[in-house]
Structure 1
Amino acid sequence: MAKAQVYKVAKIFDGEIRETDLTLVEEELPPLEDGEFLVENLYLSVDPYMRAYASSYSVGQVMIGIQVAKIAESKNPGFPVGEIVVGDLGWRTHTIIKESHNQHLYLLPDIGNLPKSLALGVLGMTGITSLYGFLDICNPEEGDTVVITGAAGAVGSHVGQIAKIKKCRVIGITGSEEKARWLESIGFDYVINYKTTKDLAGELRKGAPKGIDCYFDNVGGDISTTVMGLMNIGGRVSVCGSISGYNMKVPLRAAIVQPAIVQKQLRVQGFHATQFRDRWINGIKQNLQWVQENKLKYRETIYDGFENATKALIGVMKGENTGKALVRVKASHVENESLDFNNALTKFKKFQRA
């Protein structure tokens, strides 16, 4: 009989997350019934939205999260043993699934020899968020100037590279010199370290002498107010998140943005990745093509061991990660393929897209 380790909410997050806010328990799972299958978690996604949604949590619930898992046992012919699935299964090592009870679960499309972990990053929700959240809302045109906050994160770095594919000028705002150098290495035209600059508006004017046409907002707060004040008439703003205020006990109160919205006639729209579910697989295929063509690079920050999941989330909220943050559930679980992009791409040559 299988057993599962499960993280449950012990205390609703209040300010910064503490390790004691989540508790790790063990559950005994029942035998499979017809139509069910058992999956074993390989990688767990760790994302800022987990802090943002805290107001909807209840004590005792399983912590939310998406995982890449391998089917270990099955009584469902549509989900055979050995297949890899991606699903919103929460922070669990093992899960029994009845297909009809989980509409957010799918078999991982063939990605060749690329790491399965990418199904949580460039080839998963991160990639969908970046692709459609940027293209659908910002509608970039060749020559546009695009500003991205949280630029060295999983979504920000992805959006910046899509903007370069669309022949835009790309300005990234990040929080360390190391991250800034990495963003430059993947094609960003101008990078600002908001923690060291004394004049953000001045730096933005240097980086965007023709003004800002598109803004992809991951952080909110005063930085966003400054960016929007420098946008061109008819500028487009895609609001993905507001990480600057997630840990605050008192709601963040930044300078008002309405004057810029009115004067510059800005189009501002928020979104959620789930609104693109009807195009999810097509989005994965598009991002996969760009990886194949060496137009889309990625970086992963991997925390080893399921027991370190809470530490990983705390680290993400402190900005410790570059690129996609995730937990490798078993520290001993290492895929044959390298996590290095260039090595993975070499092995990818034999893969033929569907």
Structure 2
Amino acid sequence: MNEQILLAERPKGMPTEQTFTFEKVDMPSINEGEVLVKTLYLSVDPYMRGRMNDTKSYVPPFQLNEVISGGIVGKVVESKADSFQEGEIVTGYLEWKRYSKASAKHLQKVDPNLAPISTALGVLGMPGLTAYFGLLDIGQPKEGETVVVSGAAGAVGTIVGQIAKIKGARVVGIAGSQEKIDYLKNELGFDAVINYKEDDVKQAVKDACPNGVDVYFDNVGGEISDAVTSQLNKFARIPLCGQIALYNLEKADIGPRVQRQLLINSALMKGFIVGDYAEQFPEGIKQLGEWVQQGRIKYSENIVEGFENVPSAFLGLFKGENLGKQLVKVADQ
């Protein structure tokens, strides 16, 4: 038997374990041009919360009582496609199942010799590419500038800060625990870190950015972003990546309007999704891979063991439990 995870309800506010349901199903059979993939690692990501609402976004919502999908790294156990052989490691956007069938055109091979295979869902996957293109294309940090990153200890934020350091910027991170602050300062070399749970964030941003903010990589929105945007410099750039502070709100968010700060500083705010850069993915993976191999980019993975723990791993994203990329290990290679 196979096993899969379905969306059982559309959550109001924070999802719970009851948002998900497990179901036993028959093993899939594959047709010509398809492969059967055994899930090894499964990615849980904040953007998935938005897909649980029945609202228009940049991707369609998950459907009630249907299987949830996301980033997967798996092993080919059967192939009817010339481009894939049994035993190869692949990644793709697949359903939350122990075993999935997929069209060969929707899979990419993972080179186990480049880095651990789990990195295809992290630093060498969607989060790493999000950091790479969002910061370098929209943020365009220059040597000596100040770059602020919210959600700095997450899968995207940790990479953003390190790329900014590679480009010669002064980097300020915003995170929510002493463990994360120590990691960002001592392991990743951030110049300053703000604890948004303990510090007066607006004053802390002023103190940490005496020369103002040139680039703000916004992963969270809400009051944290209000504090940072009040310190923007002339011609500042804001890559708008995520709004995790707002995802579980039950009422519309109301706060300071950012337009005045953008206007008086001739600043740029641009929303983006990593798929906007799909044609450039090989370039990004190549450069990120080189930086990882050179030791210029470090990464952290928070790996939860067991398919049965996928819901709790997802919920952990909104409780600040993850340092770096949040993954579920479903099976051994």
Normalising by structure 1, report the TM-score.
0.89
Question: Where does structure 2 lack aligned partners over 5 or more consecutive residues?
Answer: 54-60
* 2:26 aligned partner: 28
Residue 57 of structure 1, CA deviation: 2.4
Does the 8 Å CA contact 1:71/1:82 hold for their aligned counterparts?
yes
Q: 2:198 aligns with which of 196, 202, 226?
A: 196
Classify 1:266/1:71 alpha carbon distance in 2 versus 1 (closer, same or farther; 3 Å): same
* 1:287 aligned partner: 288
* 1:239 aligned partner: 240
* 2:13 aligned partner: 15
Q: 1:89 aligns with which of 76, 84, 94?
A: 94
* 1:345 aligned partner: none
Normalising by structure 2, report the TM-score.
0.95
Deviates more, 1:275-284 or 1:189-198: 275-284
> Aligned partners of 1:90, 1:231: CA distance in 2, in Å?
41
Task: Tell me how large the CA RMSD over aligned residues is.
Answer: 1.2
> Aligned partners of 1:238, 1:322: CA distance in 2, in Å?
22
Residue 64 of structure 1, CA deviation: 2.3
Residue 272 of structure 1, CA deviation: 0.4
Does the 8 Å CA contact 2:28/2:100 hold for their aligned counterparts?
no
> Aligned partners of 2:321, 2:26: CA distance in 1, in Å?
35
Matches within 5 A, 1:178-327: 178-185=179-186, 186-198=188-200, 200-327=201-328
Classify 1:113/1:273 alpha carbon distance in 2 versus 1 (closer, same or farther; 3 Å): closer
Letter aligned with residue 85 of structure 1 = V
* 2:80 aligned partner: 75
Residue 201 of structure 1, CA deviation: 2.3
> Aligned partners of 2:163, 2:206: CA distance in 1, in Å?
22
Identity of aligned residues (%): 43
Does the 8 Å CA contact 1:12/1:58 hold for their aligned counterparts?
no
Letter aligned with residue 202 of structure 1 = Q
> Aligned partners of 2:269, 2:291: CA distance in 1, in Å?
28
Does the 8 Å CA contact 2:7/2:19 hold for their aligned counterparts?
yes
Aligned length: 325
Letter aligned with residue 241 of structure 1 = G
Does the 8 Å CA contact 2:4/2:22 hold for their aligned counterparts?
yes
- Secondary structure in 2 aligned to 1:65? strand
Residue 113 of structure 1, CA deviation: 6.0
Does the 8 Å CA contact 2:139/2:238 hold for their aligned counterparts?
yes
Does the 8 Å CA contact 2:94/2:102 hold for their aligned counterparts?
no
* 1:66 aligned partner: 71
Classify 1:175/1:254 alpha carbon distance in 2 versus 1 (closer, same or farther; 3 Å): same
Letter aligned with residue 13 of structure 1 = P
Residue 253 of structure 1, CA deviation: 1.8
